[in-house]
Amino acid sequence: MRGIVESATDAIVILDDSGNIVLFNFAAVTMFGCSREQAIGTPFNRFIPERLRADFAAQLLTQREESHPEQGGASAEVALAMRSNGEEFQVEISFPQVLAGTSEVRTLILRDITARVRIQKALERSNLDLQQFAFVASHDLKTPLRSIGGFVQILERNHAASLDDKALALIRRTSDAVRRLEQLTDDLLSYARVSSHPKPFILVQVREVVNDVMQLLGAAIDDSGSVVTVGDMPEVLGDRTQLVQLLLNLIGNGIKYCQGRTPVVRVSAHRAEREWVFCVADNGIGIDARHHEKVFEVFKRLHTQQEYPGTGIGLAVCRRVVEHHGGRIWVESAPDEGSTFSFTIPDTSAESSSP
């Protein structure tokens, strides 16, 4: 047993009833920069910053009262520790309680998570920087794009009579390109806003959200002759604007990606465990199984602009909105067999009613 303890990569420290160290393995020596001779017999709280020692002592007491030796009683928490040179660092600490004969042995297992925390913070900063870049770049692009679009319209309106067919075709292509760029900047702004400008969640009637979406898609529904049916919808805790955006993208895609037939879209919801599962099913062109994950990535498009216009950001926005609400999103589909996009949102009523 001692060989296993000594070869462990995590620091293992055993305390007596008074909180003094009786075992200090090699990983603990390395972690705290303190020899066994210096550690054995001293209070473990010497390795806790002084301002936190009272809280740590209370935590040890709580763990002792709540843990059960026969079950292992292990739980893990993040805490702030201190090396022998005074340097503070974060550790993941677990408190397994075991029996040695008839006595309970308080064991601490510690893992230095300094590198993990550093990487996590770097990723958070990187994501924030990317969001800010997308927001600023998209916002700053809108003004010159409007100017270009305006100048092209003036050119076509005032000088169309003096231009040949080739020049007019170039103007139309320029206007189309400007419109696509404006749509792209709008979509980028939407993508960046999901996480960078969060609003407090409120109770939202999803049926009202769907009604708003139906109004926004009114022209597309009328032009395509689409049939959109909506089942009973629950009340959820969320960002109403983002939920409109989510269902606008999913229902809009069901109408758009339909060829040679009348689009039929069904919106439904059912409760499962402690969450609501929403489904948007269509009879469209479908998606090959190898693309089921890729469609939720930014700028992933499975079709050309000529086939189906778009920016490839809509489903990425959907995934970000769903994850922001603590849910998940997936698609079930096959080519020419339609698609069913499903997503979940936690059922807060279940949480509030649970004991």
pLDDT, position 269: 96
As a whole number of angstroms, the distance between CA 32 and CA 41 comes to 16
What is the domain-level CATH number for residue 139?
1.10.287
Angle of helix 165-196 relative to helix 314-324, nearest 10 degrees, comes to 10
* pLDDT top residue among 159 and 309: 159
Instruction: Specify which of 105-109, 257-261, 338-342 reaches the highest per-range mean pLDDT.
Output: 338-342
127 and 163 in a single domain? The answer is yes
Token reading at 57: 């002592």
| Pair 320, 336 in one domain | yes
pLDDT at residue 257 is higher than 90: no
Residue 275 banded pLDDT, cuts 50, 70, 90: very high
Whether the Cβ atoms of residue 338 and residue 284 lie closer than 8 Å to each other: yes
Are both 192 and 210 inside the same structural domain? Answer: no
pLDDT of 69: 47
Q: Is the pLDDT of residue 355 over 80?
A: no
267 and 193 in a common domain: no
Residue 52 CA, distance from chain mean position: 32
Residue 300 has pLDDT above 70, yes or no: no
Residues 25, 135 within the same domain: no
Question: Where do we find the tokens 């305006």?
Answer: 150
Specify whether 218 is located in the same domain as 340.
yes
3-state secondary structure the chain: CHHHHHHCCCEEEEECCCCEEEEECHHHHHHHCCCHHHHCCCEHHHHCCHHHHHHHHHHHHHHHHHCCHHHCCCCEEEEEEECCCCCEEEEEEECCEEEECCEEEEEEEEEECHHHHHHHHHHHHHHHHHHHHHHHHHHHHHHHHHHHHHHHHHHHHHHHHHCCHHHHHHHHHHHHHHHHHHHHHHHHHHHHHHHHCCCCCEEEEHHHHHHHHHHHCHHHHHHHCCEEEECCCCEEEECHHHHHHHHHHHHHHHHHCCCCCCCEEEEEEEEECCEEEEEEEECCCCCCHHHCCHHHCCCCCCCCCCCCCCCCCHHHHHHHHHHHCCCCEEEEECCCCCEEEEEEEECHHHHHHCC
Top-confidence residue, 97 or 143 = 143
Quote the tokens at residue 296.
């939720």
The residue among 146 and 280 whose pLDDT is bigger is 280
User: Do residues 9 and 58 share a domain?
Assistant: yes
Task: Tell me how far apart the alpha carbons of residues 318 and 194 are, in angstroms, rounded to a whole number.
Answer: 10
Q: Which residue has the higher pLDDT, 354 or 103?
A: 103
Q: Say which CATH number the domain at 214 has.
A: 3.30.565.10
* Global pTM value: 0.55
pLDDT value at residue 157 = 86
Q: Are residues 209 and 355 in the same domain?
A: yes
Q: Examine the fold and report which residue of 60, 85, 112 is the final residue of a domain before the chain moves on.
A: 112
Domain final residue, candidates 83, 112, 141: 112
Min mean pLDDT across 8-12, 148-152, 186-190 is at 186-190
pLDDT value at position 298?
A: 72
Same domain? 184 vs 250: no
Distance in angstroms (rounded) separating the CA atoms of residues 343 and 279: 7
Domain boundary residue, one of 56, 80, 112? 112
Alpha-carbon dihedral angle through residues 321, 324, 328, 331, given to the nearest 10 degrees = 10
Q: Are residues 66 and 163 in the same domain?
A: no
Residue type, 274: R
Q: What's the total number of domains in the chain?
A: 3
Residues 94 and 174 in one domain: no
The top-scoring range by mean pLDDT among 289-293, 305-309, 328-332, 349-353 is: 328-332
What is the domain extent for residue 177? 114-197
Cα(8)–Cα(15) distance, rounded to whole angstroms?
Answer: 18
Q: Are both 126 and 92 inside the same structural domain?
A: no
Q: Tell me the average pLDDT of the chain.
A: 82
List the CATH number of the domain containing 81.
3.30.450.20
Q: Furthest-apart CA pair in the chain: how many Å?
A: 102
Residue-wise pLDDT for 219-241, tens only, equals 889 989 999 999 999 999 998 98
